[in-house]
Structure 1
């Protein structure tokens, strides 16, 4: 994956840059020794690495503003970083860039249960938002698999979802307002604690902009009362295609579970060995969860299991306790880590119409054999958000390039059947050169024109989202 060559002029400014950063930040918040900057050379897409010029760890919106103003004045690129959990290379630095990490900005600033919102600094982890309000009977709905580690900043940048987004929506559906710092250091407030319908939907524009329009330092998030109860059911099938058809039939029937998750045999085996979740021995597993009162749960699961039985499951089992439910979800949340113990992998996240699941799963299996690379499938089946995990050996010459080509073919397949390149991981560097497969040149020009307005020098998160040649030409203009 090609990255732009560093700007020699910027590299020559390092000593002066570090000096100026020390003027606005504590000594331990400026990291510039080469051995220390290597901690920021990649995110969770570890196949690609590049140490930054330096890294900074501000603790407030004012400090972020000061850093950005300095970098803007000196023409130094800035790569915002939440917790470094991006699977698309969204926080991969360039050699002439400053990593701006928000990990120290993790405070809860305001909680309002009457109006159902919480305001936090964006370095706070996803799960700890729920942790701050659950004792009072509330929760924050978006739940990415990395929710124990991922930061709200990254969730906003990539418009993250999670297993329960089928019912509750993704980040943009649960985001009420942000404090954002522009590249020149200007601080802006967008949205707020209540519905903000006046003027353009700038909040919708910022959510999912991958750190290319500004650095979000504070966020007002919608919180919801905990449901009365929830119950998952496990459905095992003897083929991926049959399981995919069950998902399509459930959605077609108008039933809306909280979540429908899919795992194939490689993921089931790895996860069971890793987390001991009690999964059945089958080719494909569905985890379908519903919530509400006991009566509501029984009614919904009755309809769902009726559909499931029509396809001859090898096992159909409802959870009978909170402990069993927790084990079931621990397994699903552990799937990526479990697969990572087997081999290196690249995780994709193209989306497709749910009706296309059987066909796409079959084609992925065929492509796996053609490329000679194994694939594990674990994904949010209810909304067609695929997560194929392509296994490869990073130490084997040519394997990474083969994996990249295989992944590109899967993502093109998603677009061909009416889906798109990314559902929640973002474009980052991973998919930037595939944007031409989804968008016409005029469409990309319009999107790049938006970045021109917010970041005229193209200093924020360079080499991401747009095809490299196009973005570099824009930077040079």
Structure 2
């Protein structure tokens, strides 16, 4: 199997006496729930990236801030690694535990602390579900929908901040980082820090932006203040069918070039269309090679004019059919098909591997052709579902883990797709994070100076290297082994972090 992370992590971390750790936690934090029996630990051995599993040493489920601080201080004192976990819906292995570490589950911090309709903000704990924020804000005519991952019914806001989550409306409204005001965190030794403020700007370095997307490597989130938006007066969706994925890809750029910024602009290829239609019955044209879903929202008059303009652009781009949702019920069905594309594709194959890369919009047609060629080369089907407007691709590689070698081929194909994204000027991730999954491809994305800077930031927040080790940032030694980087003059900076 292709090694997706540095397996030396568990082998080189100091041995932890489980009995001593458990006794210390129970003595100092008597009300803290600690899971330590093997059958209790098994449900926590993976996140959404379920192909890789590790049973943690212990799982702790705090309810109060002092318990989180206590766990961090004890682990810091005993030199025990800590991995923070939210709802466990991540797709890059960012919350996978360590055999010699504590899994700190923040799911019980699930209270909405305050909605301020005048300031259009919400203060929430990290375990609050993404969708629950919008539900709580709805009586005030507000919502938190811009970073709306397809898992929003289950994923937690703390995990969204840790991964800088996106979704179908990020083209117009931005990622999680663009919709935050303030985050409260605890450092590895239990110190409280406030990053950002309720003002629109703060003096000094923008540590809030730095922290967002840091995947649990810099601190543990305890509270989040998000921005809320007024619900649009109206929203309408156009569905356009194409007889080739290349035409659909070019149409994406044409819409943006026409001066239209849709609320959402999504694309699905034929394999994904058929799977979603069979699962949801959204009304998709199953004979189309690709479809685009284009949502336009705002004031009624503007949306009406934009719909007419986008229809013209789509027809000129070669669409074989352009359909506007007749009513709100059909609009919801169109989006239900897209948001359920992942589970729908899961019905086509025993397993699938969900990739996450981002490319410039202009490269969409060529990259889709290249993915088709790679699919044929590796003899594995690929269903393409992605946020076309911002170039965030989610190729779903179908395979059967019970067949010898298929998982290896799926991983190799996934790596090639990510390296293709880098080659055309894109990124190895747009919203899922790096975690353990993409750590090799970080070596292709960044040079040694850039990775050295990343390690310096990590060391500034977590000098002991105990927060989520082995994730996100590869060592220069690892990149040299991967063959993707020249290590300058043979020097490996921050040797204290090289074990990770």
SS at match of 2:267: strand
Task: For 1:414 and 1:143, locate their aligned partners in 2 and report how far apart those are by CA, in whole Å.
Answer: 23
TM norm structure 2: 0.93
Residue 306, structure 1, aligned to residue 312, structure 2? yes
Runs of 4+ in structure 1 over 6 Å off = none
Equivalence for 1:239 = 244
Q: CA deviation at 1:239?
A: 1.0
The superposition leaves residues 205-244 of structure 1 with CA deviations (integer Å, 9 ceiling, x where unpaired) of 1001011000011000000110101011101111111100
Residue 278, structure 1, aligned to residue 283, structure 2? yes
Residue 447, structure 1, aligned to residue 451, structure 2? no
Equivalence for 1:51 = 55
Structure 1 residues 472 and 334, CA, compared in 2 at 3 Å: closer, same or farther? farther
Q: Residues 247 and 318 of structure 2 are in contact (CA less than 8 Å); yes or no, is this contact kept in structure 1?
A: no
SS at match of 1:297: helix
SS at match of 1:376: strand
Equivalence for 1:159 = 164
Matched pairs, number: 477
Q: CA deviation at 1:192?
A: 2.1
Q: CA deviation at 1:38?
A: 0.8
Q: CA deviation at 1:178?
A: 0.7
Equivalence for 1:350 = 357
Q: CA deviation at 1:475?
A: 5.2
Which has the higher mean CA deviation after the structures are superposed, 57-66 or 142-151? 57-66
Equivalence for 1:409 = 416
Equivalence for 1:174 = 179
Q: CA deviation at 1:295?
A: 1.3
Q: 1:297 aligns with which of 294, 303, 319?
A: 303
Q: Where do 5+ consecutive residues of structure 2 fail to align?
A: 479-493
Q: 1:257 aligns with which of 248, 252, 262?
A: 262
Q: Residues 9 and 469 of structure 2 are in contact (CA less than 8 Å); yes or no, is this contact kept in structure 1?
A: no
Structure 1 residues 28 and 62, CA, compared in 2 at 3 Å: closer, same or farther? closer
SS at match of 1:336: helix
Q: CA deviation at 1:164?
A: 0.2
Q: CA deviation at 1:342?
A: 2.2
Q: Residues 24 and 67 of structure 1 are in contact (CA less than 8 Å); yes or no, is this contact kept in structure 2?
A: no
Q: Residues 264 and 283 of structure 1 are in contact (CA less than 8 Å); yes or no, is this contact kept in structure 2?
A: yes
Task: For 1:306 and 1:314, locate their aligned partners in 2 and report how far apart those are by CA, in whole Å.
Answer: 12
Residue 125, structure 1, aligned to residue 129, structure 2? yes
Equivalence for 1:378 = 385
Which has the higher mean CA deviation after the structures are superposed, 115-124 or 339-348? 339-348
The superposition leaves residues 350-395 of structure 1 with CA deviations (integer Å, 9 ceiling, x where unpaired) of 1000010000001000110001010000010000001101111111
SS at match of 1:178: strand
Task: For 2:133 and 2:160, locate their aligned partners in 1 and report how far apart those are by CA, in whole Å.
Answer: 12
Q: CA deviation at 1:27?
A: 5.5
Task: For 2:16 and 2:473, locate their aligned partners in 1 and report how far apart those are by CA, in whole Å.
Answer: 27
The equivalences for 1:182-197 within 5 A come to 182-197=187-202
The superposition leaves residues 177-201 of structure 1 with CA deviations (integer Å, 9 ceiling, x where unpaired) of 0110000111111112222320000
Q: CA RMSD in A?
A: 1.6
Q: 2:18 aligns with which of 14, 19, 35?
A: 14
Task: For 1:25 and 1:134, locate their aligned partners in 2 and report how far apart those are by CA, in whole Å.
Answer: 38
Task: For 2:225 and 2:30, locate their aligned partners in 1 and report how far apart those are by CA, in whole Å.
Answer: 27
Task: For 1:307 and 1:60, locate their aligned partners in 2 and report how far apart those are by CA, in whole Å.
Answer: 54
